[in-house]
């Protein structure tokens, strides 16, 4: 008899979780409206709904329908919020897995140091193979490399220097001296 009650309780909690998740999704209650792409929010909502439904059922006792449904709804909301934050964290990572941050209106890889910028916003070409640096100095660490002839986003020029902020998909990923690169369409380097 007790095993049958446990199965019934589990089934009720799972059903309540699914119903709460479905109701929240169809009502656009935020379960699927995260500003970052991915499936972590929905997964978090499902897990939260099931866990909340089980907890609500356990707290509610013998006639726990209302508590089960309420627990599933609250669990779905909490799981959704946690999943959305996980999606946002993932979205803040570049293709090579490094985190990003914002400085002066630019998104920068956490592997590089910020500087004071003047916007460029043009496509440039590397004249030779050249290292990308973590800061606009030759003694800073190497964070990448441009190959001869490689095109790249010149996001900005570092004010008061000969260094350019190299961008990849809208994220600053390193610095290169402007005597090794030229604007695309120009025959020789030199700005």
Q: Phi and psi dihedrals of 104, rounded to 5?
A: 55, 30
Alpha-carbon gap, residue 12 to 6, rounded angstroms: 10
Give the model confidence (pLDDT) of 165-176 as tens digits: 999 989 999 999
What's the predicted TM-score (pTM) here? 0.50
pLDDT at 57 over 50: yes
Arithmetic mean of pLDDT over the chain: 77
Give the model confidence (pLDDT) of 69-90 as tens digits: 887 888 788 877 787 776 655 4
C-alpha torsion sign, points 172, 152, 163, 132: positive
Task: Please state the domain extents for the chain.
Answer: 2-91, 100-183
* Token duo for residue 68: 């089960």
Are 117 and 156 contacting, i.e. CB atoms less than 8 angstroms apart?
yes
pLDDT band for 113, please (50, 70, 90 cuts): very high
Average pLDDT of the segment spanning 11-17: 50
Alpha-carbon gap, residue 17 to 23, rounded angstroms: 10
Alpha-carbon gap, residue 123 to 169, rounded angstroms: 12
Give the model confidence (pLDDT) of 153-162 as tens digits: 999 999 999 9
Are 154 and 124 contacting, i.e. CB atoms less than 8 angstroms apart?
yes
3-class DSSP assignment, residue 157 = strand
Which fold is adopted by the domain 100-183? SH3 type barrels. (2.30.30)
């Amino acid at each position: 008899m007790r095993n049958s009650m446990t199965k019934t309780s589990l089934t009720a909690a799972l059903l309540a979780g699914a119903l709460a998740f479905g109701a929240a999704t169809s009502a656009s209650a935020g379960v699927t409206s995260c500003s970052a792409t991915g499936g972590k929010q929905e997964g978090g909502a499902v897990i939260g709904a099931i866990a909340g439904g089980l907890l609500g059922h356990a707290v509610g006792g013998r006639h726990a329908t209302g508590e089960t449904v309420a627990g599933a709804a609250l669990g779905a909301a909490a799981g959704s919020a946690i999943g959305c934050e996980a999606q946002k964290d993932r979205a803040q990572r570049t293709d090579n897995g490094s985190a990003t941050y914002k400085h002066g209106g630019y998104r920068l890889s956490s592997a590089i140091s910020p500087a004071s910028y003047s916007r460029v916003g043009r496509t440039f070409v590397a004249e030779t193979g050249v290292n990308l640096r973590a800061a606009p100095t030759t003694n800073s660490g190497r964070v990448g490399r441009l190959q001869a002839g490689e095109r790249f986003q010149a996001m900005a020029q570092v004010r008061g220097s000969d260094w350019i902020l190299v961008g990849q998909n809208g994220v600053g990923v390193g610095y290169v001296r402007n005597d090794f690169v030229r604007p695309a369409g120009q025959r020789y380097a030199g700005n």
